[in-house]
Amino acid sequence: MEASGAPCEGYDARMEAVHRDNARQLRALIERFGWPNEQLAGSDGAEATWLIAQHAIAEPEFMRTCRSLLEREVATGSVPLWQLAYLDDRIRVSEGGLQRFGTQFEITPSGPVVCPVENPASLDERRRQAGLSPISERLESMKNSPRPTEERYAAHKKDELAWRVQVGWVARSDA
């Protein structure tokens, strides 16, 4: 979409349609076979499954269902913890809560920042357990990301909150 000249801000309707269609297909597979882990779907299929769940951001209930399934898969060793870490953090941040593994970031006018995290003092230990690099290394890798102006950032935050209310991540009273 970037090549088409469409802006890279917000959630493009065409991308949302792709994500929703992928989620619909994954939902059908899950109903029939259970979570498509590596044993069931192979390495590429298992990673594709996680990517679809991770990007189904317009479908909060589906993402929450996937999180529950991933929790069970991680507990049996069928899925690596990092997959649950990313999905759980994305859900928590979308709901306006604190993330556990520090996988979600924002690029602000002053640079990249980690979205709020619970128990920051033990963040790197949780990241290590999930097979993720220390938060300082992750932030360092993002330091040259293009930064929005204050005005664009404020508009983005306003639009993002309206969208999260619209799709059901947060209630208007939470906003």
Q: Could you read off the pLDDT of 118-165 as tens digits, one per residue?
A: 999 999 999 999 999 999 999 999 999 999 999 999 999 999 999 999
Is 174 within a domain? Answer: no
| Owning domain of residue 52 | 1-79
Q: What is the pTM of this model?
A: 0.91
Q: Are residues 47 and 119 in the same domain?
A: no
Q: Check pLDDT > 90 for residue 47.
A: yes
Same domain, yes or no: 150 and 114: yes
Domain contains 90: no
Task: Give the pLDDT confidence of 67-109 residue by residue, as tens digits.
Answer: 999 999 999 999 999 999 999 999 999 999 999 999 999 999 9
Q: Is 86 part of a structural domain of the chain?
A: no
Name the pLDDT band for 9 (thresholds 50, 70, 90). Answer: low
Of the residues 79, 106, 131, the one at which a domain ends: 79
pLDDT at res. 173: 60
User: Cα(first)–Cα(last) distance of the chain, in Å?
Assistant: 30
The pLDDT tens digits of the residues spanning 48-70 come to 999 999 999 999 999 999 999 99
In the predicted structure, residue 2 carries a pLDDT above the cut 50 = no
**Average pLDDT of span 6-23:** 81
Residues 7 and 49 in one domain: yes
Total domains in the fold of the chain:
2
Task: Using the predicted structure, report yes or no on whether residue 39 has a pLDDT greater than 50.
Answer: yes
Q: Which residue, of 79, 106, 132, is where some domain finishes?
A: 79
**Is the pLDDT at 42 greater than 60, yes or no?**
yes
Per-residue pLDDT, 174: 59
